[in-house]
Each structure stands twice: as C-alpha cells, then as structure tokens.
C-alpha cells in the first residue's frame, strides 16, 4: 500500500492508503478529523470542502495520494486553538448555521473567497458558495454571515 505523507492543520501524518482511497476517507476514518462531512461522495454538495495547499477542493473526489507532501487545512485548522476566525464568529452571530452539517464546508468555501477577494459583492458571495448545498437555512443568512465577516475584516 502506498504511504501518504502529508500535513493536516499543521501536524504531520503518515498513513498507508489504497490507491482508490479518497482524501475524505483518510481525514474522517483514519485521522478522525470529522468536520469534512460526507454529504454525497460524488462531488456535488460541498460538505467535504477542505484546502489543499490553500486551494479549495472537494475531498470526496480527491484521491488521498494527491495530498502527498502537501498541506491540508480543515475547519478545525483555520483559527488558532481557542480563537475564532471572523467567519466563524459571523456565522455564529448571524445564524448562518442551523443543523450544522453543511457549515464546515460552507465556511471553508467562504474562507477561500475572502482570501482572494476580501470585499466581495453579494453576487460574488453567492457564486463562490454555489457549489455548497444547504437544506436548512435557505442561504440568506449564510450570505449575510459572509457579508458580515467581510465588513468586519476591513
């Protein structure tokens, strides 16, 4: 079995994986980092979104070995322990989360947007989150949360 050697949220890991194992399976089942969720396992819903070397990806359709020698960041790693990222604070205050199942992927997608475009328009936020499904909120409060985080940052 190939050995996957990578960093997750700043920590180094070495895991034996099958060539067909996905990054999501390694994160969840081997490392038990559970903020990335399995909503579809076919790349359609965005609940498994994480960063690979700073870029937003869907870990359910990414072969684990693609992350070899790379750095993965999940929601657990976006803020120093005990602190909140402005997005986390904004989702909390603006009720951008209901059941919470889509929230990790949603915040990661929003984070990817704000990293590139710190002052997005409402339309840009909607487009950036268009690959992330939420069945609870109706999206309005999610968009408001991202807007609030963007305003607070600047």
Q: Is the dihedral of CA 116, 122, 125, 130 positive or negative?
A: negative
**CB of 46 or CB of 120, closer to ligand FES:** 46
For residue 35, how many other CB atoms are within 10 A of its CB?
Answer: 21
Q: Which does 29 bind (CB under 5 to 8 A by kind): other proteins, ligand FES, none?
A: other proteins
Does 24 help bind other proteins (rule: CB under 8 A)?
A: no
| Among positions 56, 72, 108, 134, the unique one binding ligand FES when judged by CB under 6 A | 134
Residue 60 contact partner, candidates other proteins, ligand FES, none, CB within 5 to 8 A by sort of partner: ligand FES
| Residue placing its CB nearer to ligand FES in the complex, 60 or 65 | 60
DSSP assignment of 69-112 equals T-EEE-GGGSS-TT---HHHHHHHHTT--SS-SSHHHHHHHHHH
Reading phi first (left if > 0) and then psi (alpha if -120 to 50, else beta), residue 115 is in alpha
Q: Does 46 bind ligand FES (CB under 6 A)?
A: yes
Residue ranges in 3-22 that form contacts with other proteins under rule CB under 8 A: none
CA distance 78 to 62: 20
Residues that bind other proteins (CB under 8 A): 28-29, 32, 34-35, 37-42, 44-45, 47, 74-76, 84, 88-89, 91-93, 95-104, 107, 133-136
């Amino acid at each position: 079995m190939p050995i996957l050697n990578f960093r997750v949220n700043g920590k180094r890991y070495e895991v034996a994986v099958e060539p067909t194992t996905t990054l999501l399976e390694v994160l969840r089942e081997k490392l038990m980092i559970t903020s990335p969720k399995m909503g579809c396992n076919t790349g359609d819903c965005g609940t498994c979104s994480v960063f690979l070397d700073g870029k937003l990806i869907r870990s359910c359709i990414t072969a684990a070995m693609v992350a070899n020698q790379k750095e993965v960041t999940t929601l657990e790693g976006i803020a120093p322990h005990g602190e909140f990222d402005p997005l986390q604070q904004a989702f909390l205050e603006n009720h951008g989360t209901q059941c919470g199942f889509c929230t990790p992927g949603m915040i990661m997608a929003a984070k990817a947007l704000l990293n590139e475009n710190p002052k997005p328009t409402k339309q840009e936020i909607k487009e950036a989150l268009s690959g992330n499904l939420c069945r609870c909120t109706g999206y309005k409060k999610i968009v408001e949360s991202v807007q609030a985080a963007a305003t607070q940052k600047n």
